[in-house]
Amino acid sequence: MTENNYYVRPVSGVWHVTWNDSAELIGCYSSQHEAEALAKLLARHMHDQGRKAKVHVFEPEVRTPAWMRNRVANQAAA
């Protein structure tokens, strides 16, 4: 049984979702969260059909809470 792999990669400020390292793009999203959610949805669909599937996320975004972003911005302005 072949395994399906979904890849989530940052490319020029957006997140691309591809399948089995093919050059064909499944989707392009502005946030990692959206792209990863689509890849997980597709993998879950494959699992429901009795197939193997994995999601691979490259260079995950470091999430910073809003209060921390505001604090850093205020310190830089001072």
20-70 residue pLDDT tens: 978 789 999 999 999 999 999 999 999 999 999 999 999 876 666 666 666
Q: Give the residue carrying structure tokens 């809003």.
A: 66
DSSP alpha helix (H) spans, the chain: 32-48, 66-77
Predicted TM-score (pTM) of the model is 0.72
Domain count for the chain: 1
Q: Give the residue carrying structure tokens 């990692």.
A: 32
pLDDT of residue 78: 60
Give 56-66 pLDDT, tens digit per residue: 999 876 666 66
Indicate the pLDDT class of residue 74, thresholds 50, 70 and 90: low
pLDDT of residue 21: 73
Range of the domain at 56: 4-76
